[in-house]
Amino acid sequence: DGGITQSPKYLFRKEGQNVTLSCEQNLNHDAMYWYRQDPGQGLRLIYYSQIVNDFQKGDIAEGYSVSREKKESFPLTVTSAQKNPTAFYLCASCGQGYEAFFGQGTRLTVV
């Protein structure tokens, strides 16, 4: 089945820890995105990537890092510099048709 897979579904982070969220797609899409969603809010763009080995900061990149070493993969690291990381994180990918499709999300909680 073609699609976007995010893992894990739930993630708990201790204060001062870095954690990495996985996003993999087998849709052969060029562009990939990471968004953060807080309760009752819309989607805020963290990072996005048009092609392999290239990515751009979104609107709230501070405290996050990404890599794009393979077309299929776009992992997001939430660093200890992100002081309020508890949120729902969504990964999306976009092909030539321009429509973006989303993974099922990762719910991150600081404990």
Q: Does 64 bind another protein (CB under 8 A)?
A: no
User: Quick one: tokens of 10?
Assistant: 């739930």
Out of 24, 25, 48, 74, which residue is the one contacting another protein (CB under 8 A)?
Answer: 48
- Please give the Cα distance from 23 to 82 (Å, whole number): 20
Q: Does 78 bind another protein (CB under 8 A)?
A: no
Q: Within a 10 A sphere around the Cβ of 2, how many other Cβ atoms?
A: 9
Q: Which is nearer to another protein, 51 or 81 (CB)?
A: 51
Q: Within a 10 A sphere around the Cβ of 86, how many other Cβ atoms?
A: 14
Q: Give the interface with another protein as residue ranges (CB under 8 A).
A: 30-31, 33, 35, 41-45, 48, 50, 56, 58-59, 90, 92, 94, 98-105
